[in-house]
Amino acid sequence: MSRIEELKREVRRLLRERNAILLAHNYQRDEIQEIADLRGDSLGLSQEASRTDADIIVFCGVHFMAESAAILSPNKKVILPRMDAGCPMADMITAEQLRAERERRPGVPVVAYVNTSAEVKAMSDICCTSANAVKVVESLPQDRAYLVPDRNLAHYIQRFTSKQLEWWDGYCPTHDQLSPEEVLRVKQEHPDSLFVCHPECRPEVIDIADHVCSTSGMYEFARTTKAKTIIVGTEMGILWRLKKENPHKRFIIPSKTLICPNMKLTTLEDVIECLREMKNIVTVPEDVRERAMVALRRMLEVPRD
C-alpha cells in the first residue's frame, strides 16, 4: 500500500474511533477532499455538520470556518488541523475597527460576509455568503448598508441593488490578483469556452464573466452548461470535484496565482496528529457565540427564492 493510502486509512480509523466527522472545503488538497465525509462551501459544511450526531468535527479549511462550525454546534468539539490556516481577507478587519465604522454610521445595518471572525460577526446585524449576498441586502428594511470585509463582493452586490452601499476596503489576495487580460488570453485560445468566476474577483473580471457564483454554484453551473470548456475564476482546489463530476468537460484555471496558500496547509499527517492528540480545538466565547449566532440566524431566515 502506498504511503498516502496508509495515511488515509489511518485518518478514517481515527475518525471512527473518535466518532468524528471530516469536513473539507472545496479548496482543500485533493487527498483531503477524497476522504472527507462532507465537501462544500464554508457555511454549507457547518450547517450539515451541526445536523450529524458526531461528537467531533474536523474542519479542513481556514480558521473562520472552524469558528462558524463551533457557533452552530456548541455541543461538539471542532478541530482545525492547522491553527495557522487563516483567511487573510477575514483578518483585514477586527471587531474594534468595525465598532468605529458603526459609530460613524448610526442606524446603518452592517452585513458581514461569512469570511469574517466570530467577533466581527457578533458585531454585525446579519451575515451573508457569496451565494445569498444580494438577497440578504435586499431583505433589509433600511435603504443603506455597510458591508465587510470584501470590497469586490460589495461592488458585485451594488450591481443588483439600488440601496446605498458602503464597504470596508478588504479583499481576497488570491481572487483579487486575477486580471481580465489573463482570462481573455485563455478565452482567445478557446473561443467556445464560457468563463465562470467567484464574486471575490475584481469588477473588471466580473464584467467579462458569463456567470458569477459561489464555489457551490460552480458545480451546478458546470453540470448544467452546454459548454464543453469552462474557464474557472476561483481557487484551483475546486478542480478535483469539477473534473470528477464532469469527466467529459474541460476546466481551465486562467492563472497560476489562483491558489490560496492557507487552504493548502492542511495535510493528512496534520489530521492524524490532531485526532490522536485531540489538539487544535477551536472555541468561541459564549457571549460572542450568541451574538454571532443571531447574525447567522437572520441570514438563514432570508427566503432563498
Q: Provide the grid cell at 135.
A: 438577497
User: Which of 182, 273, 194 minimizes the C-alpha distance to 230?
Assistant: 194
Q: Provide the grid cell at 273.
A: 496528529
* CB closer to ligand SF4 out of 73 and 115: 115
- Is residue 26 near ligand 13P by the rule CB under 6 A? yes
- Is residue 172 near ligand 13P by the rule CB under 6 A? yes
Residue 88 interacts with which of ligand SF4, ligand 13P, none, CB < 5 to 8 Å by class:
ligand SF4
Task: Name every residue whose Cβ is closer than 8 Å to that of residue 61 and which is 6 or more positions away in sequence.
Answer: 23, 24, 25, 27, 28, 42, 45, 80, 85, 263, 266
Using the Cα atoms of residue 97, residue 100, residue 104 and residue 106 in order, give the sign of their dihedral: positive
* CB closer to ligand SF4 out of 37 and 200: 200
* CB closer to ligand SF4 out of 88 and 217: 88
Task: Figure out which of the listed residues 67, 125, 200, 270 binds ligand 13P, where binding follows CB under 6 A.
Answer: 200
Query: What's the half-sphere exposure (Cβ side, CA atoms, 13 Å) at 255?
Result: 22
**Crossing angle (nearest 10°) for helices 268-277 and 3-18:** 30
- Is residue 129 near ligand 13P by the rule CB under 6 A? yes
In Å, how far are 128, 157, 199, 200, 292 from 145, measured between CA atoms?
12, 11, 18, 19, 18
| Footprint of ligand SF4 (CB under 6 A) | 62, 87-89, 115, 172-175, 200, 235, 260, 262-263
* CB closer to ligand 13P out of 213 and 274: 213
To ligand 13P, the closest distance from the beta carbon of 47 in angstroms equals 12
C-alpha 171/C-alpha 138 separation (Å) is: 22
- Residue list 202-261, contact with ligand 13P (CB under 6 A): 214-215
Task: Figure out which of the listed residues 47, 73, 130, 132 binds ligand 13P, where binding follows CB under 6 A.
Answer: 130
Binding site for ligand 13P (CB under 6 A): 26, 41-42, 115, 129-130, 172, 200, 214-215
